[in-house]
């Protein structure tokens, strides 16, 4: 009998791909959303809101595994909202006898985290403090169509003949292709030893944010001259992103703060569980660009990095 999996944040950037992959793997999938009537993805839509504990019971009835892929970046008081949601979801999973939770968190050294990344780490802590074992995968930038950081990267390259960049573009990160992130997120369910474990995941390339921009331009066979300006403050950087891309001011500011934090893989234990090569950044960018061009409209989501 197929296991039943509930995916919170099912209509978000990461959630959409995870639901598709779980369905393809033969799981019975419930796609949890606040608006099931307007959900058109894979799986069976069910109503639920992680910040409303009373709404979770029915959604979690009979569920074997659950994914927590909700993220409120850019909304007022998002850290408090996400903490409330994590507490309610962990408790409800315990009450309904869920066997395991899977959470996609963020990379970064604990002592250096931005407010955004501290919120991600707090959600991780709250889920792990609950009664259900949690498998945590920590990632940096996930490269795929509708990933907000990828969309910012693509739009900067598309809209500007050259760049006037702040110092944070020198910060290193370790992006991962959406396909590889999903392979890990779904694959851990087949390995009981991943219960209660935390894994770093990333692609093979460690790049600066300027490298991301330059590689994205090169993949499209474009040049992208750059001048780095040392006095471009986080506030001005956020305004710059807002003017050149379609990201809102609050989200831009939170992301700029996080882009000053190095987010690279420090351990590789996931390769022992799920071996196999990951796509490099250039290949991930080509896939994301192809998906963007095939999309009826260019949009971005907030349920992923």
pLDDT tens for each residue of 38-82:
999 999 999 999 989 999 999 999 999 999 999 877 677 889 999
Q: Domain-by-domain residue ranges, the chain? A: 4-206+260-294
Distance CA(96)–CA(62), nearest Å, equals 7
Tens-place pLDDT, residues 164-197: 667 778 899 999 999 999 999 999 999 999 999 9
- Look up residue 302 and give its DSSP letter: S
Could you tell me if 66 and 6 are in contact, meaning their C-beta atoms sit under 8 angstroms apart?
Answer: yes
Which residue, among 60, 57, 65, has the nearest Cα to 25 in the 3D structure? 65
Distance CA(98)–CA(86), nearest Å, equals 15
| Interior angle at CA 288, CA 299 and CA 137, nearest 5 | 95
In this prediction, residue 162 has a pLDDT band, given cuts at 50, 70 and 90, of: low
Q: Distance between alpha carbon 12 and the CA centroid of its chain, in Å?
A: 9
- Tokens representing 3? 């296991």
Cα 140 to Cα 9, 22, 39, 129, 163: the distances in Å are 19, 22, 28, 23, 23
In this prediction, residue 297 has a pLDDT band, given cuts at 50, 70 and 90, of: low
| Pairing between β-strand 44-47 and β-strand 226-228 as defined by DSSP bridges | unpaired
For 214-224, letters b (16+ CB in 10 Å) and e give bbbbebeeeeb
- The greatest distance separating any two alpha carbons of the chain, rounded to the nearest whole angstrom, comes to 60
Which pLDDT score is estimated for 221? 84
Distance CA(256)–CA(72), nearest Å, equals 16
Percent of residues in the chain assigned helix, strand, coil, to nearest 5: 45, 15, 35
Distance CA(290)–CA(184), nearest Å, equals 23
pLDDT reading at 83 higher than 60: yes
Q: What is the CATH number of domain 4-206+260-294?
A: 3.40.50.720
Tens-place pLDDT, residues 89-118: 999 999 999 999 999 999 999 988 988 899
| Interior angle at CA 151, CA 149 and CA 212, nearest 5 | 60
**Could you identify the residue written with the tokens 């693509």?**
154
- Tokens representing 30? 């419930």
């Amino acid at each position: 009998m197929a296991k039943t999996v509930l995916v919170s944040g099912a209509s978000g950037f990461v959630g959409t791909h995870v639901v598709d992959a779980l369905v393809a793997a033969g799981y019975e999938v419930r796609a949890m959303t606040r608006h099931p009537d307007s959900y058109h993805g894979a799986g069976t839509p069910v109503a639920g809101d992680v910040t409303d504990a009373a709404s979770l019971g029915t959604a979690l009835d009979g569920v074997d595994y659950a994914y927590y892929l909700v993220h409120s970046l850019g909304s007022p008081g998002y850290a408090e909202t996400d903490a409330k949601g994590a507490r309610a979801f962990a408790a409800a999973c315990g009450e309904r006898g869920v066997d395991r939770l899977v959470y996609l968190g963020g990379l970064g050294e604990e002592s250096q985290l931005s407010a955004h990344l501290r919120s991600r780490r707090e959600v991780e802590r709250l889920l792990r403090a609950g009664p259900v074992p949690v498998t945590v995968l920590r990632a940096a930038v996930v490269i795929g169509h509708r990933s907000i950081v990828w969309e910012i990267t693509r739009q900067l390259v598309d809209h500007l003949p050259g760049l006037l960049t702040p110092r944070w573009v020198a910060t290193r990160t370790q992006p991962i292709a959406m396909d590889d992130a999903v392979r890990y997120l779904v694959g851990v369910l087949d390995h009981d030893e991943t219960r209660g474990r935390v894994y770093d995941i990333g692609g093979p390339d460690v790049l600066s944010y300027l490298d991301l921009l330059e590689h994205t331009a090169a993949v499209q066979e474009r040049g992208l001259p750059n001048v780095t300006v040392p006095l471009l403050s986080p506030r001005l950087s956020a305004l710059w992103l807002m003017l050149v891309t379609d990201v809102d001011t609050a989200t831009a500011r939170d992301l700029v703060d996080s882009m000053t934090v190095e987010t690279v893989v420090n351990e590789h234990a996931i390769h022992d569980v799920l071996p196999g090569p990951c796509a490099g950044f250039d290949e991930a960018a080509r896939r994301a660009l192809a998906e963007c061009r095939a999309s009826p409209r260019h949009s971005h989501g907030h349920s992923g990095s």
